[in-house]
């Protein structure tokens, strides 16, 4: 039954969100919904990053009271892999940046053609 | 050496400073940005110079004080230095170009621009894969940001699609990275490579994710709608930087990531590159808008670079040389062109006629187009050459044909665009002005193009042998274009004279003949140039370019030098032809046929170069592998220049529409370059150990049919110059057929015809050109009765047609007599008879020429037209003296020729006893026949003149007109539709079968392009779907579905 | 064999041929008259016509090329006689045939035609130009079977020089090339029909359509020169075919007899057939004569 | 045939209709109705064939008489429409729009009689004579013999014999005259 | 309707003064033409296109040569194929077996340039006279005219016609008149015999006579040919 243990579940959720996000981008006609589904995908990826760093039975990589420090105790043995969590921070910031810019675009697109349907913005073609 | 980290530090520092300092002056902010970019380019320039002069080795930069697995490290190797230097330099020039634009948008535009450049630098230098992802995202956000803050909503849609697409790609990359970390435990690329990820379970899928996003960044063909829209939509100055920057950065990123994956990936990348290169250029053919054409062209060039990346395994040592050569040309030319579009602001390519208002811009556009298509002296020419040579060494002819087809398609639409710019009517209201800050970057780029072109040439050993002096002479003439005509003309003639004086001693007899035809012929036709008034802008540099090319061909020792001369000649002659008034479509077809021919030569040379260290010209003598293919392609290439049947449709238009003194240059001289080529090939075939009889036999038939098609076409022409152009096709058919006989007599005939054709075709074209200048029209039925006004022109054309038709006293008969003997001795009876019948047809169109133009009724508006200009008469009568001497004493020329040919074909030569020539089956004397005919002629003339002393001179209407008086000269002059009866008998042969064939092909290309480009529907979502589908398809292709 | 004697002999030969040509045209007109039941002209009529034309007092000229036309034509006729051996074997009457072979003769025909064409063109009369265009088109078509036939002969005898061809045909009727190489002979004879310019192919000087075509504007001495060169050309055309196919002539009577018969072969054919339009005559030469020519070469070369 | 003539007589109150033969009739109509009558006959009564158009110079009553002769191919009957023009103002409405051959007839009549048909295609061009300066030559007030006498050089002493008497004196000089003597001089 | 009437009246008035207007067609009037280099050229369709020189007498040579040439000219008379009036149907029979004029060296030629005799066979309307004069003047110098029928002698039965001339020799010199209201071919042959005698005696020099009093002939001709758009002497 280890299939349903914590690490795997979060992986599945992450992949699920990514697929959901992709589906949203490809199917929704409204730009805001596209941006929303993009953020869903973004969070899916972030969950994936974090869940990959999970080590069963280890605690968060913050050296505080929950982790015994001591001469012979190596902290690494007790904590989960810290690098993915560092990476996820940057990924979230970048995700945030992109979404902000997308929303700014959505605003300008709306101002341009008073509509948010993606199909109306295909003037540069062929 | 300044530590490269300062590049990033400076950029970030100034970016934050501008942000923090608040409302400092925009100029100050702009100045500060430019200063930082200058500093960044200085750093990378310092490193690049270090590497170039060899005293520096590549060094790693460690951040945050830790070793790689724990921290990001950057590398400043030779490639990185070079690429960052390019990006920064472009950034600097872009900054200058966009200074006013950014100033208008505000300070943060400068900041974003700075961040963008920093992003490119880091993507090139970083060795950490996550860092790569971060800075990739930064560049895409910066690009989208710059597009967003532009006024107007032209590019908003494109920006949105761009941002969405790049975000999806980078999230795929992120997934790949995180799994790579999960498997290998490190983010450093070098370590990932060592951990040979690809052998682990599930490793290939990770590699697939990473590489596919790297590839998608390079906008591969089906999934690059979003990239095209940005290039087209964004402000030109800016889209230039994006196109150049992303190209360099993402290409290098892919190069860094490739070692991770298994070797097949290079094959897949090469495949994708090929698809993009051909696909983008195919679609470019159908485009009408200037920016969109440029967008397709840059995507196409990206495809080519991917192709090189994919095939780098086969390039051995000069992978850098090829890659950087083409990259540099693409970047410089593409950016320059984008900025040029920014200045000219014409939307449709047809409207580009307005560029003619500033000839300097037209020159710039010409430079960029010729650089992109890969003409000498630009770097892409040498790189493409080396690339094709190395591929051929490994027998990869499939890839070579891909390159050739792609570059041909690119040449199609770029040349057409240039044709519109030079020739379409300029009746557009809107105008443009040149700001100084926009033009200076472009000038710098052009200068760089030439300089780098020269250095790339020096880089290779064969390239170094190319003699660049003639090209310098052309440049001198270009800058002296403001001088009056007679100054430039004298300089040009002196230049050629001196060149001839220095080079002719070293040449053997064979090359000497062609040298005389090219240079002395050139001087003679240039003398006719004195007739023109004013400055005649742009004629002399271009004419000298052609002659420089011709000289280079003669002088060539190596195949590269020959190909270099060949391309120069094509460029020069293209510019010459396009000067004619209605010559745009013909110049375009001429260029495309010549390019087709040039690429055939390239392919042939590549086959010849297999396994050869030093590609000297005599490797053509015994091509080891696939000789039939090699010689066939060589012949095909040269036959486009001699306009043999099937490849002849460009000649009538090109020579017909050219200017009066250009048509003789192009017709009498240029076609001989093709003949020289055919000659070299045939010498090669002669010495080759393989049996190439069938190839010579086919060449014979091609020559014979060309004679028939050329002469028959000429009979029914209404336009005098078109008639002479068709006659040139016919005469060239003679020459090709004669050389194809491959016997002593055959070659002697070929040479006689080459010399003869040069002389009488130059005479005919010069005279008719001068007459056209006087009369103002090409149509023969509008001229007539000019013998009374232009007796000297009449005598010249009379001698010309007697010589051309082969009537005994003159030199044409020498050719015909040798022809008879050669054909009977060789045994090619039926081709021979077809040629003799076409000789009869020659007589028809020659009579038509002289009757409609000089005899018959003098039209009203030509009553007091003056004799043709004195400057035309000099070369004409010099050539006529030449013809007469050659007719009277043929042995003066034929004997030395005989000895020359003897060392190729020793047996059954032409035996000379004094002035009597004997072959195995016939005898003839030139001087004897000339004397007896002259005596008979003068005798009868004397007799008749005596008995008709007091003849009364009549005027034009004193003719027997069945009792009536003729009312108008137009109604009594027989000129229009002159051989109506003969047409009714032979019309099936005059149907334009070849034209319809070529038209069908061009329509086919246009239809497919029109059909395929439908996939770019402009809808953002559709583009995203393309990306996803592309990923799925590539997934199945590359990993075949195994996880 | 001093050059003067040779020149004198050639001149004498030319006079013989000139008078024989005039006589032959008189006989031709007499035969056509007899066919129509008329007495026809006295046999000396051509001489009188020539004399009368030379005697005409006014001469008009349209320009330089106009009066050079007949001179070219006459030089062409004189040259045809000069470059062809009149009598085989006799050094006296071999004329200047040592200067060139049959190619020279073939292409020298064009010399006369070119001059005539330019002269008629200068005349400015539309009919003369139309006549010339028809003549040239027809000549181009004639050249096809003629060249095929001559090449077939050249292969058979392995030579292009006329003397050697005649030499090979000596010794009786049997080895005349009309019998040894009949197909080539047939092709050449059909081409001869066109070369002679009698009825089926006399469109060039068709009297009623375009009043005698090219020489419309010519009169007095010019017309005299044209008539005499026309007469010589008729004889020399016949002589060419004689030398090619019928074993040449070793004595003047044989020369006269053979040229007479060849000339009247085309006359009799002409008397029976109506005149062809230009496209019909050109196409006619592309049918049977062309086929015969190709067959001749195929037979000889394999 | 009678029915047709009857109908047009009432319609255009024609004066004396003459039945030359049972398939040939002549009617006279005023000048201004002439063309209307011709058009009426052509369109309503299938007189589709235009036979001829002629003109007679009645100098005595100072009038030109124009005759339009039409033929009905179905009924195989002809009808001639006569109109009278005043000699002093010889102008008639042109009928060139009905049949093309009328152009030539009108051109001839213009040259011969000087009757002008304004609007008829190239009516002023020479029909037969070139450079004719006298009054129209078919008018009866034009004396051709006098004109010939004046312009061309008549040979003196030319006289005409009456063939009948002259031949009889020549052939049978002393035969008695049986036939009645004609008096032509 | 009445504006149509007075418009007709106005037209007929304008035609009345036709006599003064010149008969030269617009094509033959002077015109301006733009040359290729932009300058304008004045074209006078009569003096620019025709040599327009006066004919001059061509004296016969001295005795014996002229006699011999006259003999040759008599023996080969080439007749111009130009039939006017009803007599031209009499000429073809000469070429048939019954009469066979070839025996006497008489031959029909298509162009005036190559012909010596001109047969005026019948009445000559003013229109035809204009063409006859041009063809006659284009014939080379020793040229003879045979006039058939009474119409050329004294106008014949068309003596009182307004358009035919009465005496031919007022317009072109005539060598031999052959009387008859169309003489039969035999008479025509007799005419030729008469002409031969005249030529042999050297009395057939009418061409020089035409040249001598050329102006008088030309005045007569121009009096009746009003639309003379040709040069005075047609070479």
Average pLDDT over chain B reads 89
Mutate to test the interface with B, among A7, A88, A107, A126 (most CBs of B within 10 A): A126
Residue A30 placed within a domain = yes
Q: Which residues of B touch C67 (CB under 8 A)?
A: 944-945, 948, 951
Total domains in chain D come to 1
CATH code for position D148: 3.30.460.80
Per residue in C6-56, pLDDT (tens digit) is 889 889 999 999 999 999 999 988 988 888 888 889 999 999 999 999 989
Give the three-class secondary structure for B666: helix
CA distance E227 to chain D (A): 5
Average pLDDT over residues B656-680: 89
Residue D185 placed within a domain = no
Whole-number pLDDT of residue E217: 93
The verdict on whether omega for the bond into residue B377 sits within 30 degrees of 0, i.e. cis, is: yes
Whole-number pLDDT of residue D164: 81
φ, ψ of residue B951 to 5 degrees: the values are -75, 145
Establish if C86 touches chain B: CB-CB under 8 angstroms: no
Q: Do A83 and B187 touch (CB under 8 A)?
A: yes
Whole-number pLDDT of residue A51: 87
Tokens of B559: 């195949």
Q: Is residue A2 over pLDDT 70?
A: no
A·B CB contacts under 8 A: 116
Cβ-count burial of B475 within 10 angstroms (0-12 exposed, 13-18 middle, 19+ buried)?
middle
Per residue in C71-117, pLDDT (tens digit) is 999 999 999 998 888 888 777 777 888 888 889 998 998 898 898 89
Q: Do B929 and C158 touch (CB under 8 A)?
A: no
With CA atoms as reference, report the closest residue to D80 among D28, D26, D9, D1.
Answer: D26
Strand ranges inside E14-141, DSSP E: 31-34, 40-43, 78-80, 107-109, 117-121
Residue A64 placed within a domain = no
Residue D41 placed within a domain = yes
Whole-number pLDDT of residue E6: 57
With CA atoms as reference, report the closest residue to C97 among B814, B818, B928, B891.
Answer: B928
Whole-number pLDDT of residue B446: 92
| Helix axis angle, B78-105 to B319-344, nearest 10° | 10
* Model ipTM value: 0.85
User: Under an 8 Å CB criterion, which residues of E touch B?
Assistant: 25, 27-28, 31, 33-37, 39, 41, 43, 45, 48-51, 53, 82, 111-113, 131-132, 134-135, 138, 229-230, 234-235
Q: Is residue B727 over pLDDT 90?
A: yes
Q: Give the domain range for residue B385.
A: 263-459
With CA atoms as reference, report the closest residue to B711 among B645, B659, B808, B767.
Answer: B645
Residue B961 placed within a domain = no
Whole-number pLDDT of residue B115: 92
Nearest CB to E113; choose among C37, C40, C218? C218
Q: Closest-CA residue in chain C for E103?
A: C41
pLDDT interval class at B922 (50, 70, 90): confident
What distance in Å separates the CA atoms of residue D4 and residue E38, rounded to the nearest whole number?
Answer: 69
In what helix (H) or strand (E) does residue B711 lie, and over which residues does it extend?
A: helix B693-715
Residue B971 placed within a domain = no
What distance in Å separates the CA atoms of residue B118 and residue B122, rounded to the nearest whole number?
Answer: 6
Q: Closest-CA residue in chain C for B851?
A: C121
Residue D125 placed within a domain = yes
Nearest CB to B963; choose among E28, E41, E135? E135
What distance in Å separates the CA atoms of residue E230 and residue B249, rounded to the nearest whole number?
Answer: 88
Q: Give the domain range for residue A101.
A: 2-54+75-119
End-to-end distance of chain C based on CA atoms, in angstroms? 43
Final residue of a structural domain among B127, B156, B176: B127
Q: Give the domain range for residue D21.
A: 2-171
Establish if D159 touches chain E: CB-CB under 8 angstroms: no
Whole-number pLDDT of residue E9: 54
Which of B592-601, B688-697, E135-144 comes out lowest in average pLDDT? B688-697
Whole-Å CA distances, C215 to B802, B854, C126, C211, C227: 22, 19, 12, 9, 10
Name all chains with 3 or more CB-CB pairs below 8 Å to chain C: B, E
Q: Closest-CA residue in chain E for B965?
A: E230
Domain E63-224, CATH number (from 3.50.50.60, 3.40.50.12280, 3.40.50.720, 3.30.300.20):
3.40.50.12280
Whole-number pLDDT of residue C87: 86
In the 8-state DSSP scheme, what is residue B528?
G
Whole-number pLDDT of residue B839: 87
Q: Is residue B983 over pLDDT 70?
A: yes
Per residue in C104-151, pLDDT (tens digit) is 998 998 898 898 899 988 888 888 888 889 889 999 999 899 999 999
Contact B832, C160 (CB under 8 A): no
Whole-number pLDDT of residue C21: 93
State yes or no: chains D and A have 3 or more CB pairs below 8 A. Answer: no
Residue B973 placed within a domain = no
Mutate to test the interface with D, among E1, E3, E8, E147 (most CBs of D within 10 A): E8
Total domains in chain B come to 4
Q: Closest-CA residue in chain B for E44?
A: B860
HSE at residue B214, side-chain half, CA atoms within 13 A, is 29
Whole-Å CA distances, B771 to B226, B776, E54: 57, 8, 36
What distance in Å separates the CA atoms of residue C139 and residue C130, rounded to the nearest whole number?
Answer: 14
Establish if E160 touches chain D: CB-CB under 8 angstroms: yes
Contact C129, B811 (CB under 8 A): no
Per residue in B31-53, pLDDT (tens digit) is 889 999 999 999 999 988 888 88
**Residues in a beta bridge with E144:** E117
Contact B746, B869 (CB under 8 A): no
Q: Show the CA angle centred on residue D29, arms to residues D23 and D32, nearest 5°.
A: 140
With CA atoms as reference, report the closest residue to E25 among E221, E234, E226, E162.
Answer: E226
Q: Is residue A7 over pLDDT 80?
A: no
Bridge-based pairing of strands D24-28 and D18-21 is antiparallel
**Residues in a beta bridge with B126:** B74
Listed in sequence order, the residues at least 6 apart from C102 whose beta carbon sits closer than 8 Å to its beta carbon are B922, C150, C154, C160, C161, C162, C165, C244
Whole-number pLDDT of residue C185: 93
Give the three-class secondary structure for B430: coil
Per residue in A20-71, pLDDT (tens digit) is 999 999 998 888 999 999 999 999 999 998 888 887 778 888 878 777 777 6
Q: Is residue B1043 over pLDDT 60?
A: no
Residue B962 placed within a domain = no
pLDDT interval class at A119 (50, 70, 90): confident
Bridge-based pairing of strands E144-148 and E117-121 is parallel
For B380, other C-beta atoms within 10 Å of its C-beta total 30
Residue B362 placed within a domain = yes
Mutate to test the interface with E, among D86, D150, D152 (most CBs of E within 10 A): D152
Contact E175, E198 (CB under 8 A): yes
Establish if B178 touches chain A: CB-CB under 8 angstroms: yes
Whole-number pLDDT of residue E154: 86
Per residue in D151-182, pLDDT (tens digit) is 888 888 888 788 888 888 888 888 777 766 55
DSSP code string of A67-95: S---SS--HHHHBPPHHHHHHHHHHHHHH
CA distance E62 to chain D (A): 37
Residue B78 placed within a domain = yes
Final residue of a structural domain among B73, B108, B127: B127
Annotate B909-968 with three-state secondary structure.
Answer: CCEEECCEEECCCCEEEHHHHHHHHHHHHHHHHHHHHHHCCCCEECCCCCCCCCCCCCCC
Per residue in B450-488, pLDDT (tens digit) is 998 888 888 877 777 788 888 888 888 888 888 888 888
Give the three-class secondary structure for C100: strand
Establish if A93 touches chain B: CB-CB under 8 angstroms: no
Tokens of C172: 């009786």
Total domains in chain A come to 1
Listed in sequence order, the residues at least 6 apart from B816 whose beta carbon sits closer than 8 Å to its beta carbon are B806, B839, C103, C107
Residue B239 placed within a domain = yes
Residues in chain E predicted with pLDDT less than 50, given as ranges, are: 12, 16-19
Work out the percent of chain B whose per-residue pLDDT is above 70: 100
Residue B498 placed within a domain = yes
Whole-number pLDDT of residue B875: 93
Whole-number pLDDT of residue B567: 92
Sign of the torsion formed by the C-alpha atoms of D119, D120, D122 and D127: negative
Whole-number pLDDT of residue C35: 84
Whole-Å CA distances, B8 to B47, B246, D181, E173: 15, 18, 145, 116
Contact B99, B34 (CB under 8 A): yes
Listed in sequence order, the residues at least 6 apart from E196 whose beta carbon sits closer than 8 Å to its beta carbon are E74, E75, E77, E104
Give the three-class secondary structure for D116: strand
């Amino acid at each position: 039954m280890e299939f349903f243990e914590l690490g795997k579940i979060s992986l599945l959720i992450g992949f699920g969100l990514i697929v959901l996000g992709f589906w949203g981008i490809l199917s929704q006609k409204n730009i805001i919904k596209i941006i929303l589904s993009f953020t869903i995908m973004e969070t899916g990826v972030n969950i994936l990053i974090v869940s990959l760093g999970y080590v069963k039975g280890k605690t968060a990589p913050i050296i505080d009271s929950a982790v015994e420090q001591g001469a012979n105790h190596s902290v690494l043995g007790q904590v989960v892999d810290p690098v993915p969590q560092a990476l996820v921070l940057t990924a979230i910031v970048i995700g945030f940046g992109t979404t902000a810019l997308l929303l700014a675009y959505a605003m300008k697109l709306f101002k341009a053609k008073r509509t948010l349907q993606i199909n109306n913005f295909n003037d540069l073609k062929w | 050496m300044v530590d490269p980290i300062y590049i990033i530090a400076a950029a970030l520092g100034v970016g934050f400073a501008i942000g923090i300092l608040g409302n400092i002056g925009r100029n100050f902010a702009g100045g500060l940005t430019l200063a930082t970019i200058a500093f960044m380019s200085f750093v990378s320039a310092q490193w690049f110079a270090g590497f170039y002069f060899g005293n520096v080795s590549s060094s790693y930069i460690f951040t945050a004080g830790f070793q790689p697995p724990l921290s990001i490290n950057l590398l400043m190797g030779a490639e990185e230095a070079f690429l960052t230097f390019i990006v920064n330099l472009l950034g600097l020039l872009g900054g200058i170009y966009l200074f006013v634009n950014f100033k208008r948008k505000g300070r943060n535009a400068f900041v974003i621009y700075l961040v963008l450049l920093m992003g490119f630098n880091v993507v090139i230098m970083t060795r950490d894969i996550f860092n790569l992802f971060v800075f990739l995202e930064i560049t895409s956000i910066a690009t989208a940001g710059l597009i967003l803050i532009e006024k107007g909503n032209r590019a908003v849609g494109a920006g949105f699609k761009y941002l969405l697409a790049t975000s999806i790609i980078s999230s795929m990359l992120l997934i790949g990275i995180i799994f790579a970390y999960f498997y290998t435990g490190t983010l450093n690329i070098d370590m990932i490579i060592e951990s040979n990820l690809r052998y682990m379970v599930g490793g290939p899928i990770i590699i697939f994710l990473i590489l596919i996003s790297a590839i998608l960044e390079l906008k591969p063909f089906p999934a690059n709608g979003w990239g095209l829209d940005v290039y087209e939509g964004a402000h030109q100055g800016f889209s230039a930087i994006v196109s150049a920057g992303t190209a360099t950065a993402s290409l290098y990123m892919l190069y860094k990531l490739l070692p991770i994956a298994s070797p097949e990936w290079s094959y897949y990348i090469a495949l994708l590159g090929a698809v993009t290169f051909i696909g983008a250029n195919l679609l470019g053919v159908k485009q009408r808008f200037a920016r969109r054409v440029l967008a397709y062209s840059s995507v196409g060039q990206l495809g080519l670079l991917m192709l090189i990346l994919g095939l780098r395994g086969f390039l051995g040592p000069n992978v850098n040389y090829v890659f950087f050569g083409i990259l540099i040309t693409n970047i410089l030319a593409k950016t320059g062109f984008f900025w040029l579009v920014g200045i000219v602001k014409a939307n449709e390519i047809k409207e580009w006629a307005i560029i003619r208002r500033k000839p300097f811009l037209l020159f710039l556009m010409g430079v960029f187009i010729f650089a992109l298509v890969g003409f000498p002296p630009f770097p892409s020419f040498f790189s493409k050459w080396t690339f094709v040579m190395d591929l051929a060494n490994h027998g990869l002819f499939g890839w070579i044909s891909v390159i050739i087809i792609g570059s041909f398609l690119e040449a199609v639409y770029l040349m057409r665009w240039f044709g519109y710019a030079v020739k379409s009517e300029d009746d557009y209201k809107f105008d443009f002005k040149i700001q100084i800050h926009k033009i200076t970057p472009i000038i710098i780029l052009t200068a760089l193009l030439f300089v780098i072109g020269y250095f790339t040439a020096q880089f290779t050993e064969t390239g170094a042998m190319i003699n660049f002096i003639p090209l310098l002479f052309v440049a001198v003439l270009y800058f002296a274009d403001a001088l009056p005509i007679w100054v430039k003309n004298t300089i040009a003639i002196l230049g050629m004279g001196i060149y001839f004086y220095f080079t002719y001693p070293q040449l053997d007899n064979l090359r000497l003949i062609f040298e005389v035809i090219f240079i002395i012929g050139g001087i003679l036709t240039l003398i006719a140039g004195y007739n023109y008034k004013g400055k005649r802008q742009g004629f002399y540099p271009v004419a000298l370019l052609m002659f420089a090319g011709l000289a280079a061909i003669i002088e060539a020792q190596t195949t590269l030098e020959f190909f270099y001369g060949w391309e120069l000649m094509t460029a020069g002659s293209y510019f010459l032809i396009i000067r004619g008034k209605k010559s745009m479509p013909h110049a375009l077809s001429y260029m495309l046929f010549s390019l087709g021919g040039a690429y055939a030569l390239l392919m042939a040379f590549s086959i010849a170069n297999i396994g050869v260290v030093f590609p000297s010209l005599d490797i053509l003598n015994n091509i080891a592998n696939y000789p039939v293919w090699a010689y066939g392609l060589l012949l095909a290439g040269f036959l486009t220049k001699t306009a043999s049947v099937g490849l002849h449709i460009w000649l009538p238009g090109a020579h017909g529409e050219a200017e009066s003194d250009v048509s003789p240059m192009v017709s009498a001289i240029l076609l001989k370059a093709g003949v020289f080529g055919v000659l070299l090939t045939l010498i090669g075939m002669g010495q080759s150990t393989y049996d190439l009889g069938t190839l010579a036999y086919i060449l014979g038939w091609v020559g014979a049919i060309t004679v028939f098609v050329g002469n028959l076409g000429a009979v029914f022409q209404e336009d005098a110059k078109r008639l002479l152009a068709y006659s040139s096709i016919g005469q060239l058919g003679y020459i090709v057929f004669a050389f194809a006989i491959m016997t002593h007599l055959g070659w002697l005939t070929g040479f006689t015809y080459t010399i003869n054709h040069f002389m009488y075709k130059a005479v005919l074209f010069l005279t008719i050109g001068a007459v056209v200048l006087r009369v103002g029209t090409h149509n023969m039925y509008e001229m007539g009765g000019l013998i009374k006004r232009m007796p000297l022109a009449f005598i010249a054309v009379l001698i010309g047609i007697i010589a051309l038709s082969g009537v005994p006293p003159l030199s044409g008969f020498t050719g015909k007599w040798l022809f008879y003997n050669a054909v009977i001795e060789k045994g090619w009876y039926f081709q021979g008879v077809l040629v003799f019948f076409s000789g009869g047809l020659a007589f028809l169109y020659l009579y038509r020429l002289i009757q409609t133009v000089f005899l018959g009724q003098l039209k009203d508006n030509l009553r007091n037209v003056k004799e043709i200009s004195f400057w035309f008469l000099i070369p004409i009568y010099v050539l006529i003296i030449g013809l007469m001497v050659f007719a009277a004493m043929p042995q003066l020329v034929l004997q030395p020729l005989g000895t020359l040919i003897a060392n190729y074909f020793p047996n059954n030569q032409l035996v000379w006893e004094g002035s009597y020539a004997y072959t195995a089956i016939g005898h003839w004397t030139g001087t004897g026949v000339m004397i007896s005919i002259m005596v008979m002629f003068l005798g009868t003339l004397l007799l008749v003149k005596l008995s008709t002393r007091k003849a009364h001179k009549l005027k034009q209407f004193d003719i027997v007109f069945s009792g009536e008086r003729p009312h108008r000269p137009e109604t009594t002059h027989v000129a229009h539709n002159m051989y109506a009866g003969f047409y009714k008998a032979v019309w099936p042969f005059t149907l334009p079968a070849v034209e319809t064939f070529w038209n069908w092909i061009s329509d086919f290309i246009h239809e497919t392009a029109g059909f395929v480009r439908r996939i770019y529907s402009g809808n953002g979502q559709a583009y995203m779907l393309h990306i996803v589908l592309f990923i799925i398809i590539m997934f199945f292709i590359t990993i075949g579905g195994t996880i | 064999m001093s050059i003067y004697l040779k020149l004198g002999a050639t001149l004498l030969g030319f006079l013989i041929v000139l008078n024989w040509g005039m006589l032959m045209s008189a006989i031709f007109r007499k035969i056509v008259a007899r066919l129509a039941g008329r007495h026809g002209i006295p046999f000396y009529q051509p001489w009188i016509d020539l004399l009368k034309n030379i005697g005409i007092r006014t001469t008009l000229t349209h320009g330089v090329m106009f009066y050079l036309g007949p001179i070219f034509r006459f030089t062409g006729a004189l040259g045809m006689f000069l470059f062809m051996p009149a009598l085989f074997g006799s050094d006296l009457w071999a004329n200047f045939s040592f200067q060139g072979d049959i190619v020279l003769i073939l292409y020298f025909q064009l010399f006369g035609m070119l001059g005539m064409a330019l002269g008629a063109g200068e005349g400015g009369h539309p009919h003369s130009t139309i006549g010339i265009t028809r003549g040239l088109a027809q000549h181009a078509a004639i050249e096809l079977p003629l060249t095929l036939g001559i090449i077939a002969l050249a292969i058979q005898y392995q030579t292009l020089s006329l003397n050697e061809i005649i030499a090979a045909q000596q010794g009786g009727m049997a080895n005349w090339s009309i019998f040894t190489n009949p197909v080539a002979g047939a092709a050449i004879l059909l081409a001869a029909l066109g070369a002679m310019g009698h009825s089926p192919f006399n469109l060039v000087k068709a009297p009623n359509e375009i009043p005698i075509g090219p020489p419309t504007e010519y009169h007095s001495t010019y017309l005299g020169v044209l008539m005499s060169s026309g007469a010589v050309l008729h004889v020399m055309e016949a002589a060419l075919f004689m030398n090619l196919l019928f074993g040449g002539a070793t004595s003047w009577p044989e020369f006269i007899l053979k040229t007479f018969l060849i000339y009247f072969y085309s006359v009799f054919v002409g008397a029976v057939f109506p005149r062809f339009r230009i496209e019909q005559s050109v196409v006619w030469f592309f049918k049977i004569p062309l086929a015969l020519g190709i067959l001749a070469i195929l037979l000889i070369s394999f | 045939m009678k029915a047709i003539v009857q109908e047009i007589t009432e319609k255009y109150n024609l004066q004396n209709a003459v039945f030359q033969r049972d398939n040939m009739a002549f009617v006279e109509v005023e000048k201004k109705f002439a063309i209307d009558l011709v058009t009426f006959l052509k369109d309503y009564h299938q007189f589709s064939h235009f036979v001829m158009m002629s003109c007679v110079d009645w100098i005595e009553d100072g009038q030109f008489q124009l005759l339009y002769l039409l033929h009905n191919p179905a009924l195989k009957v002809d009808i001639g429409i006569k109109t009278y023009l005043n000699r002093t103002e010889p102008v008639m409405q042109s009928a060139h729009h009905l049949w093309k051959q009328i152009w030539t007839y009108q051109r001839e009549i213009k040259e011969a009689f000087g009757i002008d048909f304004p609007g008829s295609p190239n009516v002023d061009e020479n029909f037969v004579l070139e450079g004719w300066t006298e009054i129209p030559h078919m008018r009866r007030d034009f004396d051709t013999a006098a004109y010939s006498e004046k312009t061309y050089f008549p040979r003196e002493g030319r006289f005409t014999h009456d063939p009948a008497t002259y031949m009889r004196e020549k052939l049978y000089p002393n035969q008695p005259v049986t036939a009645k003597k004609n008096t032509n001089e | 309707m009445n504006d149509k009437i007075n418009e007709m009246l106005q037209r007929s008035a304008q035609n009345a003064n036709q006599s003064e207007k010149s008969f030269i067609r617009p094509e033959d009037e002077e015109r301006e033409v733009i040359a290729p280099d932009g300058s304008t050229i004045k074209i006078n369709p009569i003096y620019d296109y025709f040599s327009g020189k006066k004919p001059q007498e061509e004296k016969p040579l001295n005795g014996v040569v002229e006699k011999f040439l006259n003999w040759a000219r008599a023996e080969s008379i080439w007749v111009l194929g130009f039939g006017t009036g009803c007599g031209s149907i009499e000429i073809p029979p000469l070429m048939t077996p019954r009469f066979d004029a070839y025996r006497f060296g008489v031959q029909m030629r298509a162009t005036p340039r190559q012909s010596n005799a001109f047969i005026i066979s019948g009445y000559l309307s003013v229109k035809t006279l204009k063409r006859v004069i041009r063809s006659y003047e284009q014939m080379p110098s020793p040229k003879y005219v045979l006039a058939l029928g009474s119409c050329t002698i004294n106008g014949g039965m068309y003596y009182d016609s307004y358009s035919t001339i009465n005496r031919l020799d007022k317009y072109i010199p005539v060598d031999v008149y052959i009387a008859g209201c169309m003489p039969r071919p035999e008479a025509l042959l007799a005419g030729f015999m008469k002409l031969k005698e005249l030529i042999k005696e050297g009395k057939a020099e009418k061409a020089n006579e035409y040249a001598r009093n050329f102006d008088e002939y030309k005045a007569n001709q121009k009096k009746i040919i009003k639309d003379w758009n040709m040069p005075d002497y047609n070479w």
